[in-house]
Copies of this chain bind each other. A is one copy, B any other.
Amino acid sequence: MAARKIGPGTYQMSRVGIKSTAAIVGPKEGEGPLRTYFDEVWESETHQQKSVERAERMLLEDTMNLAVEKAGCRWPEIDLVLGGDLLDQIVSTNFVARRHQRPLLGLFSACAVFTEALGLGGLLVADHEPTTVAVGAVSHHMAAERQFRFPVELGYQRTPTAAWTATAAGAVVVGPAEVGHVVIDGVTFGRVVDWGSKDPNDMGSAMAPAAFDTIKQHLVATGEGINDYDAIFTGDLGVLGVNLLQALGNKEGLHFDDRLNDCGKSLYYLKEQDVHNGASGPGCSASVFAGYLHHRLLSGEWRRLLLVATGALFSPTTYQQGESIPCIAHAVSLGRPEAKLS
């Protein structure tokens, strides 16, 4: 079991397995097409907590506890925890770490943090036997809105290009692969790409070039093509971002066609649930992977998946100061369980 660097930011690894996943979502996410894949659906956004920030924290804590339980572990058996969230100073991740008491690598790459954590966690497992890590990411609609835009109580109108930050958390326990585990076999950590977009209400378009850059880098380093994957899922590009990514691909002869999909496009019934461009937030790709995508690999329906979470790295301050929005994407490649481990 070991990992190998095969390009700038790209590593291949073998025999790294997903021991368990857990996903808990809010009520709106529980009314979407993936509802049956989630472990739990909250009945309200606040879940009896006295603030939305506390609710976000509890969402992450419950989801991580569940993943550890489903892995047949107890917290003291977890070597390291990796993860992040969207709140200033990643307070959800840090406050949850106060409870589980395991060494913490706090990460931030906005909505790309789930694959940053999953890829880095996979590397640490591959390089240091035996290691078991827990990975988690969370977002909460009301907490994100009031931090980045306005409190939802204001009832402001959203633009047609805006995404809906998901109330959702996903967690994964990663360890040495065993028969029956979905495996992590590669990661590409992305670089920051900024095409000058300044519209925080159209982050799908801002992030698409970063997703494209990371996917290209991953394919060049691994020598793979689109057809080596049954599905390529971006994080939260939404309708507009995916269209732009398709166009960028076609221009350079990289035809994604129907292999390309997006967690943000998958979480809601876009029209019926009035979410415009789709879902966003670190919890979007984390919950869609932990609930739905992992299941499709586990069932053997898909052979391989490339998960490319995407993040917009602005802050309200940089936006107000007229800066454009730097973006990043980190890609993790995953495979279905092998009947026998090589």
Chain B nearest CB from A16 CB (Å) reads: 14
Cα A31 to Cα B63 with chains together (Å): 50
Residue A223, interface by CB 8 Å: no
Chain B nearest CB from A75 CB (Å) reads: 11
Partner of A317, one of B8, B88, B321, B326: B88
Contact partners of A318 in chain B: CB under 8 A = 53, 89, 91, 95
Residue A189, interface by CB 8 Å: yes
Of residues 78 through 102 on chain A, the ones whose CB sits less than 8 Å from some CB of chain B are 79-80, 84, 87-91, 94-95, 97-98, 101-102
Residue A106, interface by CB 8 Å: yes
Interface of A is mostly: mixed
Contact partners of A328 in chain B: CB under 8 A = 94, 97, 104, 106
Whether the Cβ atoms of B191 and A103 lie closer than 8 Å is yes
Whether the Cβ atoms of A110 and B127 lie closer than 8 Å is no
Cα A313 to Cα B97 with chains together (Å): 11
Closest to A130 in B: B5
Residue A233, interface by CB 8 Å: no
Residue A248, interface by CB 8 Å: no
Known: A3-B128, A127-B3. A108 touches B84 (CB 8 A): yes
Residue A235, interface by CB 8 Å: no
Whether the Cβ atoms of A189 and B80 lie closer than 8 Å is yes
Partner of A9, one of B88, B91, B103, B194: B103
Contact partners of A120 in chain B: CB under 8 A = 105
Whether the Cβ atoms of B94 and A105 lie closer than 8 Å is no
Known: A95-B323, A127-B127. A89 touches B104 (CB 8 A): no
Whether the Cβ atoms of A317 and B97 lie closer than 8 Å is no
Pick the most buried of A53, A97, A101: most chain B CB atoms within 10 A of its CB.
A97
Cα A186 to Cα B209 with chains together (Å): 38
Partner of A105, one of B110, B189, B317: B189
Cα A93 to Cα B128 with chains together (Å): 28
Contact partners of A123 in chain B: CB under 8 A = 124, 127
Residue A65, interface by CB 8 Å: no
Residue A299, interface by CB 8 Å: no
Contact partners of A192 in chain B: CB under 8 A = 94, 97-98, 101, 104
Whether the Cβ atoms of A108 and B110 lie closer than 8 Å is no
Contact partners of A128 in chain B: CB under 8 A = 3-5, 11
Of residues 320 through 340 on chain A, the ones whose CB sits less than 8 Å from some CB of chain B are 321, 323, 326, 328
Whether the Cβ atoms of B321 and A53 lie closer than 8 Å is yes
Cα A328 to Cα B318 with chains together (Å): 27
Closest to A146 in B: B317
Whether the Cβ atoms of B89 and A314 lie closer than 8 Å is yes
Chain A residues engaging chain B, CB cutoff 8 angstroms: 3-5, 8-9, 11, 51, 53-54, 79-80, 84, 87-91, 94-95, 97-98, 101-110, 116, 120, 123-124, 127-128, 131, 147, 188-194, 313-318, 321, 323, 326, 328
Known: A5-B79, A88-B88, A90-B313. 9 other contacts (CB 8 A): A3-B128, A8-B79, A11-B128, A84-B108, A87-B317, A97-B192, A98-B194, A104-B109, A105-B107
